[in-house]
Amino acid sequence: MDFEFITARAPLFGQAARLTVTLAFWGIIFSSAVGLVCAVIRFYRVPLLRQAAAGYIELARNTPLIVQLFFLYFGLPRLGVVWDGETCAIAGLTFLGGGYLAEAFRGGLSAVGRGQIEAGLSIGLNRFQLLRYVIIPQALAVALPAISAAVIFLMKETSVFSIVALPDLMYVAKDLLKEGYSGESNLMLVASYLVVILPVSLAFGYWERRLRFAGFGS
């Protein structure tokens, strides 16, 4: 194990980790918004939009991210639409993640008791207020484990961003493999993903325990 090589190349992995975290952050934020909208549409059984949301979810969940990125980065230019690698990465992660998070949110919404909804209506809440103050808070508490799993899954899926010429963690590792330091490169790659993903996993675990202690999601 060449520790001098590791020390010299560590800044490259640091830069790649920052890029990976930035792209994952925006992709997860946007996919959360898309997923919540789709879940609410299906929860309220909105005509036409419900079928469109269901079709999108099936498409997103049953096509690999790498295929979606190929279409965005190499296919769209043939239609006259050219996006840079970062835009394609965020759009692809949003498309994929929206489908998974929609199902996570839908599970939480479905778990809200009818009595809670009727109680909200009885005190004069309109549909938006009912959703904001009664349904969504309880749904998020129930859905948190599924949301946690989806977020961690999406963060791991960032490993394919290198196909759109982004210098992410996988791109840097593959580039360093050419220098013949396979053991060192793989070690730094694994360590980098642990540093990026483990805190997120621990944070979600902490929130789940707090919610269980508070009586939510049980």
User: What are the respective helix, strand and coil percentages of the chain, to the nearest 5?
Assistant: 85, 0, 15
Q: Which residue, among 174, 181, 146, 177, has the nearest Cα to 160 in the 3D structure?
A: 174
Work out the mean pLDDT of the chain and round it to a whole number: 88
Residue 65 confidence (pLDDT) = 94
**What residue type is assigned to position 5 of the chain?**
F
Show the domain range for 120: 3-214
Domain count for the chain? 1
Q: Does residue 177 carry a pLDDT above 80?
A: no
What is the pLDDT at residue 130?
Answer: 84
Cα-based distances in Å from 51 to 33, 57, 58, 64, 204: 18, 10, 11, 22, 32
Burial-class residue 6 by CB neighbours within 10 Å (0-12, 13-18, 19+): middle
User: Mapping DSSP to helix (H, G, I), strand (E, B) and coil, where does residue 64 land?
Assistant: coil
pLDDT digit string, tens, across residues 4-23: 777 887 888 899 999 999 99
Number of H helices, E strands in the chain: 9, 0
Q: What is the pLDDT of residue 89?
A: 94
Instruction: Give the residue from 177, 32, 63 showing the smallest Cα distance to 169.
Output: 177
pTM recorded for the entire structure: 0.86
Rounded Cα distance between 20 and 136, Å, is 30
Which CATH number goes with the domain that contains 139? 1.10.3720.10
Distance CA 86, CA 9 (A): 23
**pLDDT for the residue 114:** 79
pLDDT in tens, 17-49: 999 999 999 999 999 999 999 999 998 888 899
Q: Which residue has the higher pLDDT, 126 or 196?
A: 196
Over 90: is that where the pLDDT of 1 sits?
A: no
